A and B are shown apart, each in its own frame.
Chain A
């Protein structure tokens, strides 16, 4: 069963603009992660946020987590053409799911130069 669901499915912006992607999940989690995938290649880990954290930064990335709403957002500031990729959130299985990893369907980001 899919737990993480990203919104929007696709996003097209101009270089220099900010991009925001959202992720919702259904059950309690221990952590939430964001990954990036370039065009059918392997996923690359971006950032991990634990359930007791509310916000985390890494370079131009900012991730927030709202466990009461079971949602997270990924903000990419000052986007570049090289940020064009698909972005996925992933959660652990929580209390019932053990060490499963559950990915959402992803957001496709296109940054126009």
Chain B
């Protein structure tokens, strides 16, 4: 089954404790992206990747890191999480960039206390 998976689905952590949210897709898509969703603000893009070793900033990259060492995986790293990063995070992939439909993962709900 074609899908995007994220782990963990729920995470509660404390300020400053490094964490990684994993994202994996099995569709051989070149494009992968991370978004955060906050009430009333829709989805905002954090980072995206056009292909292996190619990443670029979205609209809200501060406080996040990403890497794309393999085509199927695109982890999101929070080196020192803060309470304002409490949000619902989605990973997505598409065949080739924002010009094609994106497939979304189920989301990761992160709470930073």
Contacts and interface: CB of A to CB of B under 8 A. Distances in A.
Interface of A: 1-2, 4, 30-31, 33, 40-45, 48, 88, 90-93, 98-106
B56 interface: yes
A63 B75 CA distance: 34
Interface of B: 4, 31, 33, 35, 40-45, 48, 50, 56, 58-59, 88, 90, 92, 97-107, 109
B34 to A, nearest CB: 11
5 contacts: A2-B44, A42-B107, A45-B102, A100-B56, A105-B42
Contacts, number: 74
Contact of B100 (A1, A41, A48, A100): A48
Nearest to B91: A42
Given A88-B42, A99-B98, A101-B98, A44 B104 contact: yes
Contact of A99 (B35, B48, B59, B109): B48
A105 B40 contact: yes
